[in-house]
A and B are shown apart, each in its own frame.
Chain A
C-alpha cells in the first residue's frame, strides 16, 4: 500500500527532491526494537563472560551446581526446561488443535463467539495467577488423582514412579493449560486461511465433516499448525513464575517425571538475588543466555513457518 503512494509521488517528480526527514527520524525510532534485541544478547554475554571463560562448553554438559565449590553445570536445568516444555506440548497440542478446528468453522454461532473471546481472554491472565492456582489447586489434585493411580499401576517403570505434589509432571500440566490459548488462537487463524474452495471440493465429493477436517483441512494447514506449536514451545521454554511455584526446584536430572526438577528460568528466579561472588552470578546469567538463544532460534523458525503458510494461502486464494 505504501508502494502505491511511492509510485503516485514519483509519477510527477518535483523539481527538487526534498529529502524525506520523517522517514529518517521514524526509522531511527523504530530501530529501538532491533537495537534492544542486540544489546540484550551483548550485555548478557558480557555479564556471563567470567563463567563462559571458566567453564567453556563444559558448562552445557556439567551436572553439578554447587555455589560453595564454584562448580556450575547447566545440564539438569536444560533437561528440565526442554522436558517440561515438550511434555506440555504433548498434552496441549491435540486439545489446542481441536479447539482451533471448532473455532474456525464457518458461520458465527453465539457459542463459538463466546468460546473464542473466552480463550483469547484466558491468554491474558498473568502467569503468577496460573502459578498460585497450580500450587494450591492443580498440583494437589493431580497428585491424588493422576500421579498416585498411575504410579500404583505402572510404578515398576522407573520414570513413572515416586509420585510427589511438586513435580516435573505438574509443571508441564500447568504449562499445557497456559499455552493452550496461544496455540488455539494461532491455529484458528491458520485454519481459517485454508482456501474455502478446497473444503467445498471435498464436501462436493461426498466427504464427511470428519474426513474433510482430517484429510483436507488439517494437512493443508500443517505447516502453520506446526509453526503455532513451535511458538507455544517458545512460550513454554521461557515461562518462569508458574513453573517455579510447582516444579519442586531440585537441581538434578529427575529419575521420574513425578519427581521434582528445575528449569533454566526457575534457577535464575530463585537464586539470582542471593548469588554472591563473581562466578555464581555469571553462571546464572549464562543460564539466561542459553535460554534466550534457544528461544530466539525456536521463535524465528516458528515465525518463518507461520508466515510461509499464510503467504501460500493468500497465493492459492
Chain B
C-alpha cells in the first residue's frame, strides 16, 4: 500500500520537476516579465501581456462572482432548513463539476455572439461562472462553523436578521470566506478551456477588456503546440509562473484558514 502511494506521487513530483527545470531558463531573464510577444527569431519575447491579461480577467471575474457567491453562501448556511437552500447547494455542486469548455461555449453564446467580437469581458464572465459555486460552498462552510451563541446573542439584543448575518456572523467567518474566495481565484487563474472562444488571446499588450485578451494559460497552450523551440521554452516559463502563482495562492489560503480554526477555538 505504501508502495502504491509512492507510485502515485512519482508522476506528480515529475510534473513539478519538469516545470521548474524547463521553465527556469526563461524565467531568469528579466525581460520575460516586461516584454510582450516577439515574432520567432527576434530575441527578448516575454509574457507581460499574458500576466496583465490574467490579472484583468480574473479581477473582473472576482468582482462578479465573489460578492454574489458570499451572499449566496450566507443564505445557504443561515437558512439551511429552507428547501430552496438545498436546491442552491445541489446546483452549486453540479456547477462545480460542469465541464469548463461547455461554460466557455455558453459565455460565447451569451457575450461574444451579440457584440460580434471576442473580448476580455466574455472571458471573465466564463471565469466568474466557474468561481461562483466554489465561493458559495466555501462561504457556506465558513459561516456554518460559527457557534450558535453568537447568532443568538445578536438576535437577543434585538438586531434585525440582516445585521446579525452580515455584521456579526460574516466578519467572524471572514478568514474561511476569504480562503474560499482565494481558492476560486486560483482555480480561475489556471483555466484555459473557458477562454478559448471568449477572450481568445492576443499577441499585443492590451488593458481594454472590450478587446481580445491574452492570459497565462492560453500562452502555455498556444506556444506549446507551435513548432518553434523559442516559443516552447516560453511556454514552459509561463507554465512555471502559473504554477508558482496558483500554488502560492493555495498556500496563502491554507494559512488564512488555519487562523480561522484557531479563532473559532477561542470563541
Tell me the A residues contacting B by CB distance below 8 Å.
Answer: 1-6, 8-9, 18, 20-23, 25-27, 29-34, 36-37, 39-40, 43-44, 47, 94-96, 98-99, 101-102, 115, 117-119, 121-122, 124-133, 135-138, 177, 180-181, 184, 213, 231, 234-235, 237-241, 245, 265, 268-269, 272-273, 285, 288-289, 291-292, 295-296, 298-300, 303
Tell me the B residues contacting A by CB distance below 8 Å.
Answer: 1-2, 4-5, 7-9, 11-12, 14-16, 18-19, 22, 68, 71-82, 84-85, 87-88, 90-95, 97-103, 105-106, 108-110, 129, 132-133, 136, 144, 148, 151-152, 155, 160-162, 165-166, 183, 186-187, 189-193, 196-197, 200, 217, 220-221, 224-225, 232, 235-236, 239, 242-243, 246-247, 250-251, 254
Which residues of the partner chain A approach B166 to less than 8 Å between Cβ atoms? Answer: 22
Minimum C-beta distance from A292 to chain B (A) = 4
Chain A interface SS verdict (over half): helix
Closest to B70 in A: A29
Contact, CB under 8 Å: A128 / B242: yes
Closest to B160 in A: A22
Which residues of the partner chain B approach A298 to less than 8 Å between Cβ atoms? Answer: 97
In the assembled complex, 16 residue pairs joining A and B whose CB atoms fall closer than 8 Å, in A order, are A2-B81, A25-B162, A26-B78, A33-B132, A37-B95, A43-B106, A102-B5, A121-B251, A129-B19, A132-B220, A132-B235, A136-B22, A238-B98, A273-B196, A295-B99, A296-B98
| 7 closest cross-chain pairs (CB), A and B | A126-B190, A238-B99, A22-B162, A26-B75, A30-B72, A98-B4, A34-B91
Number of A-B contacts (CB under 8 A): 261
User: In the bound complex, how far is the Cα of B3 from the Cα of A95, in angstroms?
Assistant: 9
- Choose among B11, B71, B97, B99 the residue that contacts A138 (Cβ–Cβ < 8 A): B11
- Choose among B132, B186, B197 the residue that contacts A36 (Cβ–Cβ < 8 A): B132
Which residues of the partner chain A approach B243 to less than 8 Å between Cβ atoms? Answer: 125-126, 129
Which residues of the partner chain B approach A115 to less than 8 Å between Cβ atoms? Answer: 5, 9
Contact, CB under 8 Å: B88 / A241: no
Contact, CB under 8 Å: B192 / A47: no
Which residues of the partner chain A approach B200 to less than 8 Å between Cβ atoms? Answer: 273
